[in-house]
Amino acid sequence: MERLSASCGGCDARWTGVDAAHCVVGCHRTYADVDSYEAHLRGGVCLDPKDARLISISDGECEKWLGPAVEFQAWVTSINTSKDRSER
Ligand SMILES: [Zn+2]
Ligand SMILES: [Zn+2]
């Protein structure tokens, strides 16, 4: 059976996996799934995946970024909370 692979018309990236999401209109990074992809977007702007707390994984052919959006939201909330505290 052939492995499913996909490529982007805008860059050299190739990736495998039906769940993978490539950021075609933005940073041209590949995300392991839609949740991870959405985690790197804030207001339609691409964040650096590291800033979005995504981790880099590799399946041997391409780099993918992985990170649950739920954790990211919790992280943003915790930052906002600690910021409020330190300002007072
Ligand atoms: Zn992007
Ligand atoms: Zn691309």
Distance 49 CA to ligand 1 centre (A): 8
Cα distance between residue 86 and residue 88, in whole Å: 5
pLDDT digit string, tens, across residues 7-27:
999 999 988 888 899 999 999
**Which of the ligands is closest to the CA of residue 28?**
2
Whether residue 1 lies inside any domain: the answer is no
Distance 78 CA to ligand 1 centre (A): 24
Here the tokens at position 41 are: 């977007």
Distance 3 CA to ligand 1 centre (A): 25
Domain count within the chain: 1
Whether residue 73 lies inside any domain: the answer is yes
pLDDT at residue 72 is higher than 60: no
User: Can you give the residue range of the structural domain that contains 78?
Assistant: 8-87
pLDDT digit string, tens, across residues 48-57:
999 988 989 8
- Give the CA distances from residue 46 to residues 24, 59, 79, 85, in Å, rounded to whole numbers and listed in that order: 11, 23, 19, 28
Whether residue 24 lies inside any domain: the answer is yes
Write out the E strands in the chain. 5-7, 14-16, 21-22, 30-31, 41-42, 45-46, 55-58, 63-66
> What pLDDT sits at residue 27?
96
Whether residue 2 lies inside any domain: the answer is no
**Which of the ligands is closest to the CA of residue 62?**
2
